[in-house]
Amino acid sequence: MQTVSVLDMIEFADKRRVRKKILSESLLEAELVCYEPGQGTREHFHKEQEEIYYIVEGSGSITIDGETTDVQAGDMVFSPADVPHSIAAGDERMVMFFVKGPGRGAANIGGEA
């Protein structure tokens, strides 16, 4: 069994978001992404790959297929496969944990950030 302290992985950088891989298997991937205020992930999509985002701390917005929703710590958002999506931190730092599947070994991924 593998146990990971996600909170111990939190790290920020001034110039760009920080992504930390937690798990990468053929059917599932998990990562932590840390954003300074104003940082984000540009619009992209994943062919045949769904994602679930969980906001660990802070706040920002997630846009899926042109619809933007504000998010804050404790919120979870689902993004279907083949749909454009983007993420942006608001006026404060934001930490987001996400899971996507199938993993890179099983999916045909396109347009990914």
Could you list the residue range(s) of the whole structural domain that residue 96 is in? 6-101
- pTM for this entry: 0.88
Q: What CATH code is carried by the domain that includes residue 17?
A: 2.60.120.10
Is 113 contained in some domain? no
pLDDT of residue 25: 87
The per-residue pLDDT for range 11-63, each reduced to its tens digit, is: 999 999 999 999 888 889 999 999 999 999 999 998 889 999 999 999 999 99
Return all residues near 32 (Cβ < 8 A) that are at least 6 apart: 6, 9, 10, 19, 20, 22, 56, 95, 96, 97
SS3 9: helix
End-to-end distance of the chain based on CA atoms, in angstroms?
A: 30
Is 112 contained in some domain? no
Number of domains in the chain: 1
Is the alpha carbon torsion for 37, 112, 100, 64 positive or negative?
positive
pLDDT of residue 110: 39
Question: Which candidate, 39, 16, 41, 43, places its Cα nearest to that of 93?
Answer: 39
pLDDT of residue 105: 60
Is 45 contained in some domain? yes
